[in-house]
Amino acid sequence: MRKFRLSYLYVLALLVVAGACKKEEEVPRGEFASGVLVVNEGNFSDADGTLSFYNPTNEEVTQDIYKKATNETLAGVFQSVFTADGKTYIIDQVGSKITVVESETFKLLGTISEGLDVPRYMTVANGKGYVTNWGPFDANFQLPDSYVAVIDLNNFTVSKKLNTANGAEGIISLNNTVYVAASGDNTVHVIDTQKDEITGGFEVPSGPRQFTEDANGRLWVLCNNYITSNLAKIDVANSRVATQFEIAGSAKSITSNANGTKIYYLCTPWGSPGQVFVIANDASFAPQEALITGDNFYGLGVSDDETIYIGRSNGADNGTVIRYNSEGTALDNFAAGRFPNSFEFRK
């Protein structure tokens, strides 16, 4: 009888555990958990930025997902978004605010506005947010008061400001160290996230703007000073620029494939077609021929399966997203909002 009772209890315990696991697995994910988030910057004077969502499985597109989730319009010029720990931060450069929403449902969680002045890009490290801010233009159209705002992610407040060189722009975190591109200078700042202090930096070609990371843990910096454009590959472990390349002019966006073996970048020369180039992470020279060429290219993204997404602006009309395979052949396209500038790929 005792043996039977123990066996019964053992089976019952297994059923309880299995039931708990099943219950956990059955928790539904939000509507925007898996797919492609499209950041539509909007027209500067109209502040009519929106966020679209594309489902590659059924090819459905949902426009203005914030309004769908909240029944309210979120006005602004959306320079970028950043997602971490179940929260998405929508960065409005004109309104100098960040709207925080649940990543999967887009329900509003809060707003950050105090302590921001033309925010641009964000990263998270050591449990805190770091947001680049241009600050105001001076009489010479320079940005001498640029800084990085340190964000307390528990109460959505700015806890500290770190002054940078002219035009703080792109920002990235590697191993809880934050790197900041000063676009009006030739400096990449290094932030110690334990102390929240700028503790060093790198000299790169002028106009550093955006970053991506490669398979070897090296930073690639896209530089553009409106005259020339360059790529600089930084060996962060040894605090040096390992390689730099001169590339096609008016470089705008940079990203990498999922495993970091290829670097993609978009150049948009004034009055000429846009060009997307691809370079291997161990290359010793820059490509001379574009992988993709087309009119009015505005944003670039690469999904995990190496589908290339290009945001195309259509002037006063809403934009279009064109999808290409990794060989540069057009696959299809779908509608977006005005000036689609970037993408976030969700699994």
Q: Which domains occur in the chain, in start order?
A: 114-203 (2.40.10)
Confidence class of residue 239 from pLDDT cuts 50, 70 and 90?
confident
Lowest mean pLDDT among 61-70, 157-166, 237-246, 331-340: 237-246
User: 148, 145, 101, 105: which is closest to 124 by C-alpha?
Assistant: 148
Rounded to whole angstroms, how far apart are CA atoms 20 and 316?
53
DSSP state of 276: E
**Mean of pLDDT values over 43-60:** 96
| pLDDT of 19 | 53
Tens-place pLDDT, residues 59-107: 999 999 999 999 999 999 999 999 999 999 999 999 999 999 999 999 9
Confidence class of residue 332 from pLDDT cuts 50, 70 and 90?
very high
Q: Does an H or E element contain 5, and which?
A: helix 2-25
Q: Kindly tell me if the per-residue pLDDT of 2 is higher than 50.
A: no
User: 154, 93, 163, 155: which is closest to 122 by C-alpha?
Assistant: 93
Burial of 271 (0-12, 13-18, 19+ CB in 10 A): exposed
Confidence class of residue 9 from pLDDT cuts 50, 70 and 90?
very low
Q: Is 47 helix (H, G, I), strand (E, B) or coil?
A: coil
pTM: 0.91
| pLDDT of 233 | 96
**Mean of pLDDT values over 255-265:** 98
**Mean of pLDDT values over 12-26:** 53
Instruction: Tell me which of 48 and 2 has the higher pLDDT.
Output: 48
Q: Kindly tell me if the per-residue pLDDT of 161 is higher than 50.
A: yes
User: 170, 171, 205, 175: which is closest to 187 by C-alpha?
Assistant: 205
**What tokens were used for 188?**
């990449």
| pLDDT of 18 | 54
Q: List the helix and strand counts (H, then E) for the chain.
A: 2, 28
User: 329, 317, 258: which is closest to 292 by C-alpha?
Assistant: 329
Report the chain's mean pLDDT, rounded to a whole number. Answer: 93
| pLDDT of 28 | 80
| pLDDT of 269 | 92
What b-and-e string marks burial along 159-191, b requiring 16 or more CB atoms within 10 Å of the CB?
eebbebbbbbbbbbbbeebbbbbbbbbbbbbbb
| pLDDT of 126 | 97
Dihedral sign from CA coordinates of 52, 121, 325, 321: positive
Is residue 37 within 8 Å of 53, Cβ to Cβ?
yes
Confidence class of residue 6 from pLDDT cuts 50, 70 and 90?
very low
Confidence class of residue 172 from pLDDT cuts 50, 70 and 90?
very high
| pLDDT of 24 | 54
Which amino acid is residue 184, in one-letter code?
Answer: G
Rounded to whole angstroms, how far apart are CA atoms 36 and 164?
33
| pLDDT of 156 | 97
Q: Kindly tell me if the per-residue pLDDT of 3 is higher than 80.
A: no
In the chain, pLDDT over 90 holds for what percent of residues?
Answer: 89
| pLDDT of 208 | 98
Instruction: Tell me which of 254 and 29 has the higher pLDDT.
Output: 254
Confidence class of residue 11 from pLDDT cuts 50, 70 and 90?
very low
Burial of 113 (0-12, 13-18, 19+ CB in 10 A): middle
